[in-house]
């Protein structure tokens, strides 16, 4: 597939260069052969035109990158051996990033403890005074405290418990 795309791209560039010259680059038989190659490629790979006309949005790309980061870091984020609270084998998981001297973080942790008491929820706690927690937060591009990381989303700043509960039970 990649070889055919490269071939078509090269052909298109040669064709474009030929139109800029006074003399045609291909004779009629050469143009017909090029046209046949491009046609065959488009029939084999019709989505090429769609990708060229409608590339993914910056938002969609950012979401895909975030989900990839979450998937790669999930074993560390949700490891029941990490400091935290709630049952180690809980079906619902949140990684909570907090810092010292943060009243919003203290309030958020108290709300998470209440949620964990009423749901099958494990909360792993990462204090940003720890270098590993800071590295994880940087890898996730978290810039606010508190921050909440679920298996499929990240939330920054204090989130009311009722909102977190909805995210957990969706």
Give one DSSP letter per residue of the chain, joined into a string. Answer: -HHHHHHHHHHHHHHHHHHHSSS-SS-HHHHHHHHHHHHHHHHH-THHHHHHHSPPPHHHHHHHHHHHHHHHHHHHHT-TTSSEES-TT-SEEEEEEE-SS-HHHHHHHHHHHHHHHHTTEEEEEEETTSHHHHHHHHHTT--SSSEEEETTEEEES---HHHHHHHHT-
pLDDT band at 54 (very low <50, low <70, confident <90, very high): confident
pLDDT in tens, 118-151: 999 999 999 999 999 999 999 999 999 999 999 9
Residue ranges and CATH numbers for the domains of the chain are 2-53 (no CATH), 62-168 (3.40.30.10)
Q: What is the pLDDT of residue 144?
A: 94
User: pTM for this one?
Assistant: 0.66
Q: How many angstroms separate the CA atoms of 152 and 78, rounded?
A: 12
Report phi then psi at 14, rounded to 5: -65, -40
Report phi then psi at 4, rounded to 5: -70, -40
């Amino acid at each position: 597939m990649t070889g055919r795309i490269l071939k078509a791209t090269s052909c298109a560039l040669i064709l474009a260069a030929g139109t800029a010259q006074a003399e045609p680059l291909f004779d009629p038989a050469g143009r017909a052969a090029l046209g046949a190659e491009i046609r065959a490629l488009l029939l084999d790979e019709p989505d090429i035109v769609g990708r060229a006309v409608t590339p993914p949005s910056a938002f969609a790309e950012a979401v895909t990158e975030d989900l990839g980061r979450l998937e790669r870091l999930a074993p560390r984020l949700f490891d029941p051996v990490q400091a935290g609270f709630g049952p180690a084998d809980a079906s619902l998981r949140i990684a909570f990033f907090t810092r010292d001297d943060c009243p919003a973080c203290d309030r958020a942790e108290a709300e998470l403890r209440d949620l964990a008491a009423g749901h099958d929820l494990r909360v792993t706690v990462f204090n940003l005074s720890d270098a590993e927690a800071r590295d994880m937060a940087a890898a996730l591009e978290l810039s606010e405290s508190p921050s909440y990381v679920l298996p499929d989303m990240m939330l920054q700043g204090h989130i009311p418990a009722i909102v977190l509960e909805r995210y957990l039970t969706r």
